[in-house]
């Protein structure tokens, strides 16, 4: 199960009324959480060089309906998202970290998947975070590229803000809250392989299910991006990490859709 299939399922669920309505307010909800979550535990570990694989990804907007599908893909190592701490400066209270989409090699026996190796599939994006105890706050806004074999290009998530909390021993990220946006123009040229529809233009699909841009990323009073919000957990998997960049093998079937630039029609209740 790939990410875009999951997003497709998400959209379908939303279209069928199975999800919450996602009363989005841009990054305001997250900023409120950031303000409240100040009681970080102590951090006793040096984080430099540690690699974390995301083991839980749960959307809180626009719907929660997809989280079980994500859990399965992560469990099977088909969805590999990685945080890497490149430098931890306990005196300055900062970390320099990187994010990338990776690919995993795993074995399966009786339905149980065992990781063999992980490799980055895209050049990691580096960001800095302020460290308060075991809590890190991403400084400014960052952009991540996420890719898997079911899309024709990485989808670019920008305007990302958020925070997370390491376990005291540094072997896990116990909670991380993130939000960001995907521009409508990115979706217009994106072909995605959806579980029920095959290869379709993602913008066409979003319009089909009346999910319209709900975030004004460039503050020009016109909605231009889809707002996503969620939280994740991660565990350290440093011994299984290979720094060799291993691009995801393109799926030729994903390249056949046409651009779709029609205007989104919001759903009328
Ligand atoms: Ca705008």
Is 262 domain-assigned? no
Give distance in angstroms: CA of 217 to centre of ligand 1: 5
Residue 81 contacts by C-beta under 8 Å, 6 or more apart in sequence? Answer: 53, 54, 57, 99, 100, 101, 102, 146, 232
- What's the length of the chain? 269
In a domain, 269, yes or no: no
In the predicted model, what is the mean pLDDT of residues 173-179? 94
Lowest mean pLDDT among 85-99, 120-134, 161-175, 243-257: 243-257
Ligand 1 mean position to 224 CA, how many Å?
5
Question: For residues 222 and 228, what is the distance between their CA atoms, to the nearest angstrom?
Answer: 17
How far, in Å, CA of 83 to CA of 74, rounded? 15
Backbone conformation region of residue 90, classed left if phi is above 0, alpha if psi is from -120 to 50, else beta: alpha
Q: How many angstroms is it from 222 CA to the middle of ligand 1?
A: 4
Average pLDDT value for residue range 217-228: 92
Residue 196 lies in a domain: yes
Query: For residue 205, what pLDDT is reported?
Result: 85
Q: Is residue 222 part of a domain?
A: yes
Segment 222-229 shows an average pLDDT of 91
Confidence check: pLDDT of 9 > 90: no
Rounded CA separation 144/229 (Å)? 14
Cα torsion 54, 56, 61, 64: sign: positive
Q: Token pair for residue 17?
A: 């009324």
CA distances from 68 to 164, 196, 200 (A): 22, 18, 23
Range of the domain at 107: 3-255
The band of 26, judged by pLDDT with boundaries at 50, 70 and 90, is very low
Domain membership of residue 213 (yes or no) is: yes
Give me ligand 1 centre to Cα 213, in Å.
10
3-state secondary structure of 68: helix
Q: What is the pLDDT of residues 123-151, one digit of tens each?
A: 899 999 999 999 999 999 999 887 766 67
Give the phi and the psi of residue 209 in degrees, each rounded to 5: -100, 15
- Greater confidence (15 vs 189) lies with 189
Give the pLDDT of residue 38.
47
Q: Sorting pLDDT into bands at 50, 70 and 90, what band is 196?
A: confident
Is 261 part of a structural domain of the chain? Answer: no
Distance (Å) from CA 173 to ligand 1 centroid: 33
Distance 65 CA to ligand 1 centre (A): 28
Q: How many Å lie between the centroid of ligand 1 and the Cα of residue 25?
A: 14
Helices of type H across the chain = 3-15, 28-36, 67-75, 184-188, 202-208
Cα of 54 from ligand 1 centre, angstroms:
31
**Does residue 105 belong to any structural domain of this protein?**
yes
- Whether residue 63 contacts residue 10, with contact meaning beta carbons closer than 8 Å, is answered with yes
Cα 221 from Cα 250, distance rounded (Å): 37
pLDDT at 90: 94
Q: Which residue has the higher pLDDT, 159 or 19?
A: 159
Q: What integer pLDDT is reported at residue 136 of this predicted model?
A: 97
Give CA–CA dist 60/20, Å, rounded: 9
Ligand 1 midpoint to CA 197 (Å)? 30
> Measured between alpha carbons, how far is 261 from 217 in angstroms, rounded to an integer?
18
In the chain, the number of structural domains is 1
pLDDT confidence of residue 56: 94
In a domain, 193, yes or no: yes
User: How far does the centroid of ligand 1 lie from the alpha carbon of residue 195, in Å?
Assistant: 31
Q: How far is ligand 1, taken at its centre, from the CA of residue 263, in Å?
A: 14
Q: What is the mean pLDDT of the chain?
A: 82
């Amino acid at each position: 199960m790939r990410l875009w299939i999951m997003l497709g399922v998400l959209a379908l669920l939303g279209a069928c009324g199975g999800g919450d309505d996602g009363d989005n307010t841009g990054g305001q909800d997250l900023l409120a959480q950031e303000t409240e979550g100040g009681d970080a535990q102590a951090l006793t570990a040096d984080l430099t060089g540690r690699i974390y694989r995301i083991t839980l990804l749960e959307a809180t907007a626009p719907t929660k309906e997809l989280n079980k599908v994500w859990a399965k893909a992560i469990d099977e190592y088909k969805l590999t998202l990685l945080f890497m701490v490149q430098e931890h400066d306990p005196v300055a209270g900062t970390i320099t970290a990187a994010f990338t989409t990776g690919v995993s090699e795993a074995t399966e026996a009786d339905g149980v998947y065992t990781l063999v190796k992980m490799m980055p599939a895209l050049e990691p994006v580096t960001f800095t975070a302020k460290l308060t105890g075991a809590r890190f706050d991403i400084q400014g806004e960052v952009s991540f590229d996420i890719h898997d074999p079911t899309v024709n290009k990485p989808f670019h998530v920008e305007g990302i803000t958020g925070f997370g909390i390491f376990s005291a021993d540094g072997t896990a990220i116990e909670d991380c809250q993130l939000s960001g946006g995907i521009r409508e123009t990115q979706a217009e040229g994106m072909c995605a392989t959806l579980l029920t529809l095959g290869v379709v233009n993602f913008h066409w699909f979003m319009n089909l299910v009346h999910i319209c841009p709900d975030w004004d990323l460039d503050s020009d009073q016109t909605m231009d991006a889809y707002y996503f919000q969620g939280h994740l957990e991660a565990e350290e998997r440093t011994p299984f990490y290979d720094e060799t960049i291993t691009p995801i093998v393109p799926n030729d079937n994903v390249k056949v859709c046409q651009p779709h630039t029609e205007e989104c029609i919001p759903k009328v209740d």
